[in-house]
């Protein structure tokens, strides 16, 4: 973390993706500013949010959809990412013609 912090601009926040409480604890020990909880069940997210205790922003990601977004929000996370907005969006063929 020290190497990253020394090389990064002072305005840059460091975010680390985690999948376990052990990884969350490691992030806290290193002073990470944003901790992403990736593909965690809501009960585990709730535990992670309690463990973090406001020492970092908490982002939930992975498997977020309309059916579970409320339950995820109720865990106390600060941010929710929905990857399907980018990796699963349908493409549309659009043409634009300009005449000068």
Does 42 map to a domain? yes
Does 63 map to a domain? yes
Does 100 map to a domain? no
Average pLDDT over residues 46-51: 98
Q: Give yes or no for residue 72 having a pLDDT over 80.
A: yes
What percent of the chain is modeled with pLDDT above 70? 94
How many residues would you count in the chain?
100
Does 99 map to a domain? no
What domain count does the chain have?
Answer: 1
- Stated as kind and residue range, the H or E segment containing 52 is helix 42-52
Q: CATH number for the domain including 26?
A: 3.20.20.70
Residue 49: which domain range?
2-85
Burial class (CB in 10 A: 0-12, 13-18, 19+), 48: buried
| pLDDT for res 94 | 83
Sign of the dihedral through C-alpha 65, 71, 74, 75: negative
| pLDDT for res 98 | 80
Does 95 map to a domain? no
Does 94 map to a domain? no
């Amino acid at each position: 973390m020290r190497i990253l912090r020394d090389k990064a601009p002072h305005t840059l926040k460091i975010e680390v993706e985690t999948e376990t409480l052990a990884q969350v604890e490691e992030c806290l020990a290193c002073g990470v500013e944003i901790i992403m909880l990736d593909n965690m069940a809501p009960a585990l997210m709730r535990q992670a949010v309690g463990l973090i205790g406001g020492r970092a922003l908490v982002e939930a990601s992975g498997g977020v959809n309309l059916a579970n977004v409320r339950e995820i929000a109720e865990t106390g996370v600060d941010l929710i990412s929905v990857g399907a907005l980018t990796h699963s969006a349908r493409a549309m063929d659009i043409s634009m013609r300009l005449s000068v």
